[in-house]
Chain A
């Protein structure tokens, strides 16, 4: 089975280690959420996967082929970037035509249909589009390409709620129609939590975890009550964060829930992916 395999990638910028010996793999046929705080190393990793920058150490294989300077992976992967790399003077339609010439599997009809859905004027030049519509243009190109691996770096930047919803539904439709891998790097965790199957969490240049979103949500919970009782419960458990308010305390825990004694005033609550993310990256381990 195909995959993007990242093996021991290290990238340094002067004194800053952007990625520190990162090893992770993105299997074919799944939707991944690549999560991390600002400066965590997500974009650096994406740029290395898509051959835009080079790693100092390590290698990346796409279906067993090195991703570095190899045209053999050209029709395997596409990266929709947050930064604008397109010629700003070309019209949307011209960009579609060039993409059709560059890639074997670009569906022009789908691109035009999606443009209509999003009310994107294909006769406008890229520079004349608003930030939101520039994102929409890039999304349409990514969604109209039938390559096995598509990476979205902050895909909904500048999009209003309706357009974001439309994107998520289109993405799911694409995924249902043909097995592919989508990697979504975003800050809007709650919005993508219903879509992503696996979470890869990066913090300070390292992979904190790679786990299915379902497992992660099953394992994560919070417990609240009096500070003393909560502290007592937390002994020996994987506490990823705490909050205190007066005499009350909430602890965020990863792992199995233990049965509470009948007289206990402690209360369990489920925690969402965003809360888990915040607590895990706060702690940094």
Chain B
């Protein structure tokens, strides 16, 4: 258990430096752009949004790099793939939770003073800080999981096959869009849309259920997590 704890600490603490640099750059740019807009337009309350997407991109890169770098470091230090997987996903959760906390607090504080909109606030409204944080944490972990799995797949099948898979995925997306547009009946499309809305917490009666999107992210995260575990168990050092 101590070994697992130390591996989780490694996964988290080695990310502090890039994380601090990320926030300094992000909010430095944010302040600069705001200052330019205010000075140039005279608008003292300019709109801003999407800070969480920048965090999601950062975490996606971290997810991919976790495989590329931490996997090698853990193998060097004698950890098994099971321990590597567990520690990686625990550190994904902890880093995501910390970033979600920062983004939730800053997003809501900024929303209070200027016209700053958070993704959660835009979708579900402002005021529920706990669910905002939890929702964002789950979203971030899902991003980490997707890109971690992508890095594992690329490592497993190689660049050429990965590109072919990417082309195939794009084809599948186009196919699904075409199915919705030309093949499925309007009733089926409406049912699917209703299911998706419910999955993300928008109920038929117009109310919002904040537990559903959390559960949806947990299910998506579990699918990608299990996929990653199945792959990493057979992953060799290259």
Contacts and interface: CB of A to CB of B under 8 A. Distances in A.
Given A71-B83, A74-B79, A85 B72 contact: yes
Given A52-B237, A54-B236, A98 B10 contact: yes
Contacts of B237: 47, 52-53, 83, 85
A52 B236 contact: yes
Contacts of A47: 237
Contacts of A87: 14, 69-70, 73
Output the residue of B6, B14, B75 with the most chain A CB within 10 A: B75
Chief secondary structure at chain A's binding surface: loop
Interface in B45-95: 69-70, 72-73, 75-83
Contacts of A51: 75, 78, 80
Interface string B227-238: 000000110110
A99 interface: yes
Nearest to B71: A85
Nearest to B81: A69
Interface string A36-58: 00000000000100111110000
Contacts of B6: 98, 101-102
Contacts of B80: 51, 69-71
A74 B3 contact: yes
A81 B76 contact: yes
A54 B234 contact: yes
Nearest to A77: B78
Contacts of B70: 87
A233 interface: no
Contact of A85 (B3, B76, B81): B76
Contacts of A228: none
B137 to A, nearest CB: 25
A78 interface: yes
Interface in B1-21: 3, 6-7, 9-10, 14, 17
A78 B73 contact: no
B32 to A, nearest CB: 27
Contacts of A50: 75, 78
21 contacts: A47-B237, A51-B78, A52-B75, A52-B236, A52-B237, A53-B237, A54-B236, A69-B233, A70-B80, A71-B79, A73-B78, A85-B73, A86-B72, A90-B14, A98-B6, A98-B10, A98-B77, A101-B10, A102-B3, A102-B78, A103-B77
Interface of B: 3, 6-7, 9-10, 14, 17, 69-70, 72-73, 75-83, 233-234, 236-237
Interface of A: 47, 50-54, 69-71, 73-74, 77-79, 81, 83, 85-87, 89-90, 98-99, 101-103
Given A54-B236, A86-B73, A102-B3, 11 more contacts: A71-B80, A71-B83, A74-B79, A77-B78, A85-B72, A85-B75, A85-B76, A86-B76, A99-B77, A102-B77, A102-B78
Ranked nearest first, the 3 interchain pairs of A and B with the lowest CB-CB distance are: A85-B76, A52-B237, A53-B236
